[in-house]
Structure 1
Amino acid sequence: MCGILLFNSSGSCDVTAQDVYLEFAEDDKVVTSSGKDTIDKIVPYIVARGPNFSSYRTLHGVNTCWFSSVLSLRQPFTKQSIVIDKKFVLQFNGELYNKTIDLDENDTQYIVQLLSNIDVYDDDKLSIQQEIINVIKNLDGEFAYTISDLVNNIIYFGRDTIGKRSLSYCIDSQTNELYVASVTGTTSKQFINCIGGQIYIFDTSKRDFIVEPCNIRDVPYDVTSLVDEGLNDLNMITSELYEQLSNAVSKRITTIHPTHIENSPIAILFSGGLDCSIIVALMCEQLIKMPGNNTIIELLNVGFENPRTKLQPSDTPDRKLAISSTKILKNLYPDVNIKLIEVDVPYEEYLSIRPKVIDYMYPKNTEMDLSIAIAFFFASRGQGFITNYDDGTRHEYNRKGIVLFSGLGADELYGGYHKFANKSTPELVEELVKQINNIHDRNLNRDDKVIAENGVEVRYPFLDESVIQYSTSKIPINYKINKFILRNVAKIKLNLGAIAEEPKRAIQFGSKSAKMTKDGNKNGTDILK
């Protein structure tokens, strides 16, 4: 996981930056730019995303500056940004799971190799553009990027097929300056969240986007309307979906560099419900297959002190469910060290952090966005307790894992939301198409911004490209009523018992992070004040 900030101007773009960030600057000349205030505001957010390394780069004669930060998960450690044969500058944030990448190979270096083979001096500019697009299209994973073609004055940027890493951009209406950033905080500039799967191509000479849009995939994802009334294929689909999910979890574990996986736990955002429990079970299965592995799985469960309901964190629905689900998982996998981390959030601490989370999640600005984002912020920060329920004792525990798993995507793929329950087949198909194609904006951009602020990386097995393709095109629509097919996987393939029957409960209601005050008549769509 890394942080990305790119600034391009039609004139000089050198900006004031602290000396610690000038490792890659061509010289010590630092000139005031019209973008200075905005960049100085954004830089601390980028630093937080990559605690292992930060750098600022300028190049002579190029009106672009790049600021990057790095959270290192794969060896060899690679500083960013990267200049490739004086042809490209690459910024990459995320993880790749391409089968052609050796497990000991750094995924950023993999992209460097692909780009270094492109002849940017070719007279056929459209051919060069297509080669760069092909490199991006062939990447499989969770990522955001900028690629600056220094020869042809073109900047490419965007997010993976579904948009699992945050990225926003702004073209200043007065100066025509381009900003691209992983996270910005609240700013006077009008940043726009990049669409998942869209390749943005900006011509720095013409100061505008190349008009024809380029997509990594066909847009939108289509959802099959096939109905299997007799459930004739239920056993086959259950087994195939299990294999798809198992593979998605496996590659997200095996791509954590051994120095991390042996010495540091893996964490998961854990409500105790169906989706995250399935991921935990699949994580356990994977770790059991790795001889001598004693990796800890940290279950991060958050609960809020809520003055309106008068509930304490220990009384929240998600806390109670997490305790019972953890017992089931520990009984199923006694050889895996599973720890439930109870993150308690006092109301006063909620109030103190609230303005920061509102800032992080910009441009999202509704009550619902805040109630979800602040739950993810505290959960991923992971400052909590471990309780011994045999004797009632508690001791403090701070999350140690820097890779977090999430069950996000299951509701969108398998019909988990309550509003889907009574829809006709055409209506359900239409809703699921909307949900999965809009998840980049509805959830992922916001969630990645607030989670990554804690210097961790989140991975989404349900949003694996193969899982999405299989789930949208192969699973009959009547298997997606109240997550019927996923519950069958939990029951038949993973023996999760009572967990398989757990109803859907949104995190803001399960953790009680919504409607925190006596003014409880606010709607989720209300704009924050």
Structure 2
Amino acid sequence: MCGIALVLSGGLVVAPSTAAAAAASGTRFPDEREGVSVGELEEALRRRGPDSLRRHSFHLCADGTVLVDGGDGVGGGVGATELCFIGATLQLRGAEPVSQPLVAQSGSVLVYNGEIYGGIHIANDQNDTRSLFSSLESCCSCDLHVVDSDEAYPCCKSVGKSVPQILSTIKGPWALIYWQAASNTLWFGRDAFGRRSLLVHWPTPADSRFILSSVSPPSFSRNNSASEVNGLESATDPDFSGHTKVSYWEELPCGVYSIHLKDLDTNATCMKEGRVIEVRKHNWTNSLLHTLIRWERKSTVPIVDGLIPGKCSVDEGNHHLSPSFRNSREAEDSTTHRVLIALRKSVMLRTNVNIMYQGDLTTLKDDELAPIAILFSGGLDSMILAALLDQCLDPKWTIDLLNVSFDGPLAPDRVSSLAGLKELQRISPLRRWRLVEIDTDLANLKGESEHVMSLIHPSNTYMDLNIGIALWLAAGGDGWVNGQDGHRNKYKSTSRVLLVGSGADEQCAGYGRHRTKYRLGGWSSMDEEMRLDVQRIWKRNMGRDDRCISDHGKEARFPFLDENVIQTLLEIPLWEIAKLDEPVGKGDKKILREVAKLLGLQEASFLPKRAIQFGSRIARESNRKNFGSNRAANQASAGSVEVGKRNH
């Protein structure tokens, strides 16, 4: 996990579209730095990337001349644009340590936060960032790729792919900021599912800079939850439209973006207060990626007597079903194995200790230390991840299971985690499993709660805060373990890689609202709700969760959101994914329950869905603290209430 940032300032107004640029013509944008400072950004990013922190700055004159200032922020002259790149590194891949930003002899600059599991070849001893930088530097730099469309041009056949083409091939989570010196173009973006955080600050009258950052500094986000922003809403891009009030920071929508800074005297829209530059959003060029983003399933509604009903109960009237559907048990077994294989490969890619940075592994000589941990509730998703990790990880390593509770041994997740530990010990008795019990009291978390509030920013509801606190504490790994002598000993996990079950519920109908949609509108309605969940997971979940987990210098990895896993699940008929006519704990996430049985997890295969805020009981404690009681919180729809506000 790394932390990346860019601060672009001086003489430019960066707007999401030409329409926004036109709207900005009546707004004064003084070059005043009333917002976050570079030092504050560095302090926040260092927590994500504790192994190294660097910055690289240069000034860009209107005629395209680049003046490197060595990072002291001096130079460039009046009207020059300054670009300041910041990179904080958590070293996890490669044979040698790598510090960011990477700067090429050409003058190109890259800060990257992500892993590459396909699309670009990475040798076992290579670093992802360096390999990607080499691929990007071979890209075509002609203006057509920036100012026109994303079609293939003849130039690419002889020179190389375009930047959007390279980024579209990457399998794995990523966010990046890349200065392509040959074309004077700034490229930035995040992967199609938003698995790595990237926030954007659009210029405002109070702070005219354009800023990208993995995380918001605590000192600034705390008092800047919402402010009026005039003239910077895009009328053409739905991801940026419809805002009358926005935070200082916004989640950058998934995709690849560019700002062309070549010949600003002629290519920028000159105004009294400065030059307006347009941000362009580029199309993904990978057809498979388009398929995954659309999230369209071929088989949604079971066929009954040749008809496609709005709703069908699989368990009722099986004699009416077509022979292919009636004899589906063999097909179900086949699809279950396909999902199991896809998930195993996903876990293996994300937990290959042989390609982890060996400098860290040399500190793990003690057999009791664990290189990889799991955010562990004892529920279906985390039990599957634990069993698969056991198959993928060398037996010499311990596996840490991180479990957080706000009600000691009484929290549902603590009860299920203890039961889950016993089941894991049964199916893999030779593995050293370590359940780390992270106990806390919400009343004692004043400073920690304020810190987490800055991490979830721009998310700002009580539900976001509750989930954020639970994830942040779990990722910290600071708890207790029960020794063989019966004593409870203090322990802090040193695992830098954490497996997280995000994406399982969205793809396999694990939420109560999926059951409601099915009851009211049948298969198609349920499918549409699941598609909506997947397509908005970047905004609702991933950025927030990434920021909370990575704040400890840990890296979250999400096996259920692997591109191959998503594709495999989409190829399976919906009625084999879930059967919501069946009871809770059986029909929901049916396919994953079958996977659990194949792994020998009989008890876990029947566990009902329980969100972390309820399983850890932080939601109950938060409701009592902030609303007086659970009943009052439910009446106020506490989950959607902004922190510090009440519904009356």
Q: TM-score, normalised by structure 1?
A: 0.88
Residues 1:295 and 2:397 aligned together: yes
In 2, Cα distance between the equivalents of 1:464 and 1:173? Answer: 37
Aligned residue in 1 for 2:101: 81
Superposed CA deviations along residues 187-207 of structure 1, whole A, max 9, x for unmatched, are 6462210223x1122234434
Could you tell me whether the CA contact under 8 Å between 2:300 and 2:523 is conserved in 1?
no
* 1:152 aligns with one of 180, 183, 186: 183
Aligned residue in 1 for 2:487: 393
In 1, Cα distance between the equivalents of 2:376 and 2:499? Answer: 9
Q: Which region of structure 1 is more displaced relative to structure 2, 145-154 or 236-245? A: 145-154
Superposed CA deviations along residues 386-436 of structure 1, whole A, max 9, x for unmatched, are 024x76420000011011000111101111112222411011110110011
In 1, Cα distance between the equivalents of 2:133 and 2:468? Answer: 34
Aligned residue in 1 for 2:53: 54
State the shift of 1:209 in Å: 3.4
Equivalent residue runs for 1:187-206 within 5 Å? 188=224, 190-196=248-254, 198-204=255-261, 205=264, 206=268
Superposed CA deviations along residues 443-499 of structure 1, whole A, max 9, x for unmatched, are 1110111111111001000000111112123343452240001100101x2010111
Matched residue type, 1:256: M
* 2:340 aligns with one of 232, 238, 242: 242
* 2:209 aligns with one of 172, 177, 180: 177
Could you tell me whether the CA contact under 8 Å between 2:145 and 2:162 is conserved in 1?
no
- 3-state SS of the aligned residue for 2:111? strand
Matched residue type, 2:405: G
Structure 1, unaligned runs of 5 or more: 14-31, 305-311
Superposed CA deviations along residues 340-382 of structure 1, whole A, max 9, x for unmatched, are 0000112343233111111111000001101111000000011
Residues 1:525 and 2:525 aligned together: no
In 1, Cα distance between the equivalents of 2:180 and 2:437? Answer: 48
Aligned residue in 1 for 2:453: 358
Aligned residue in 1 for 2:165: 134
Aligned residue in 1 for 2:307: none
Residues 1:381 and 2:476 aligned together: yes
State the shift of 1:49 in Å: 0.4
In 2, Cα distance between the equivalents of 1:124 and 1:195? Answer: 20
Could you tell me whether the CA contact under 8 Å between 1:222 and 1:473 is conserved in 2?
no
State the shift of 1:58 in Å: 1.1
State the shift of 1:227 in Å: 4.3
State the shift of 1:87 in Å: 4.3
Could you tell me whether the CA contact under 8 Å between 1:169 and 1:179 is conserved in 2?
yes
State the shift of 1:60 in Å: 4.9
Residues 1:68 and 2:174 aligned together: no
Aligned residue in 2 for 1:442: 540
Aligned residue in 2 for 1:17: none
State the shift of 1:105 in Å: 1.1
Equivalent residue runs for 1:278-293 within 5 Å? 278-287=384-393, 290=394, 293=395
Aligned residue in 2 for 1:425: 523
Could you tell me whether the CA contact under 8 Å between 2:299 and 2:573 is conserved in 1?
no
Aligned residue in 1 for 2:356: 256
* 1:507 aligns with one of 612, 621, 630: 612
Matched residue type, 2:595: V
Q: Which region of structure 1 is more displaced relative to structure 2, 229-238 or 211-220? A: 211-220
In 2, Cα distance between the equivalents of 1:149 and 1:12? Answer: 19
In 1, Cα distance between the equivalents of 2:534 and 2:507? Answer: 7
- 3-state SS of the aligned residue for 1:223? coil
Aligned residue in 2 for 1:403: 497
Seen in structure 2, the aligned counterparts of structure 1 residues 323 and 474 have a Cα distance that, compared at 3 Å, is same
- 3-state SS of the aligned residue for 2:183? coil
Could you tell me whether the CA contact under 8 Å between 1:317 and 1:511 is conserved in 2?
yes
What do you get for the CA RMSD once the two structures are aligned? 2.4
Equivalent residue runs for 1:156-167 within 5 Å? 156-167=187-198
Could you tell me whether the CA contact under 8 Å between 1:224 and 1:477 is conserved in 2?
no
State the shift of 1:515 in Å: 3.4
Residues 1:3 and 2:3 aligned together: yes
Could you tell me whether the CA contact under 8 Å between 2:176 and 2:189 is conserved in 1?
yes
In 1, Cα distance between the equivalents of 2:166 and 2:181? Answer: 17
Residues 1:277 and 2:375 aligned together: no
Matched residue type, 1:483: K
- 3-state SS of the aligned residue for 2:526? helix
Q: Which region of structure 1 is more displaced relative to structure 2, 50-59 or 351-360? A: 351-360
Seen in structure 2, the aligned counterparts of structure 1 residues 117 and 384 have a Cα distance that, compared at 3 Å, is same
Superposed CA deviations along residues 62-83 of structure 1, whole A, max 9, x for unmatched, are 5200111000011221110011
Matched residue type, 2:93: R
Matched residue type, 1:4: I
Could you tell me whether the CA contact under 8 Å between 2:375 and 2:498 is conserved in 1?
yes
- 3-state SS of the aligned residue for 1:141? coil
State the shift of 1:121 in Å: 6.3
In 2, Cα distance between the equivalents of 1:191 and 1:202? Answer: 19
State the shift of 1:153 in Å: 2.8
In 2, Cα distance between the equivalents of 1:94 and 1:74? Answer: 10
Aligned residue in 2 for 1:24: none
In 2, Cα distance between the equivalents of 1:9 and 1:347? Answer: 41
Q: TM-score, normalised by structure 2?
A: 0.73
Seen in structure 2, the aligned counterparts of structure 1 residues 337 and 359 have a Cα distance that, compared at 3 Å, is same
Number of residue equivalences: 497
* 2:374 aligns with one of 247, 260, 268: 268
In 2, Cα distance between the equivalents of 1:181 and 1:49? Answer: 12
In 2, Cα distance between the equivalents of 1:182 and 1:528? Answer: 22
State the shift of 1:110 in Å: 1.0
Residues 1:330 and 2:425 aligned together: yes
State the shift of 1:211 in Å: 4.1
Could you tell me whether the CA contact under 8 Å between 1:225 and 1:426 is conserved in 2?
no
Aligned residue in 2 for 1:29: none
- 3-state SS of the aligned residue for 1:429? helix
Could you tell me whether the CA contact under 8 Å between 2:256 and 2:281 is conserved in 1?
no
State the shift of 1:212 in Å: 5.0
Q: Which region of structure 1 is more displaced relative to structure 2, 414-423 or 448-457? A: 414-423
Structure 2, unaligned runs of 5 or more: 14-30, 61-65, 67-81, 225-246, 269-275, 303-324, 365-369, 580-587
State the shift of 1:226 in Å: 3.2
Matched residue type, 1:352: G
In 2, Cα distance between the equivalents of 1:107 and 1:143? Answer: 11
Seen in structure 2, the aligned counterparts of structure 1 residues 273 and 212 have a Cα distance that, compared at 3 Å, is closer
Aligned residue in 1 for 2:565: 467
State the shift of 1:117 in Å: 1.6
Seen in structure 2, the aligned counterparts of structure 1 residues 35 and 215 have a Cα distance that, compared at 3 Å, is farther
- 3-state SS of the aligned residue for 1:250? helix
State the shift of 1:43 in Å: 2.2
In 1, Cα distance between the equivalents of 2:415 and 2:277? Answer: 53
Aligned residue in 2 for 1:39: 38
Could you tell me whether the CA contact under 8 Å between 1:261 and 1:295 is conserved in 2?
no
In 2, Cα distance between the equivalents of 1:398 and 1:475? Answer: 43
Q: Which region of structure 1 is more displaced relative to structure 2, 515-524 or 47-56? A: 515-524
In 1, Cα distance between the equivalents of 2:144 and 2:411? Answer: 64
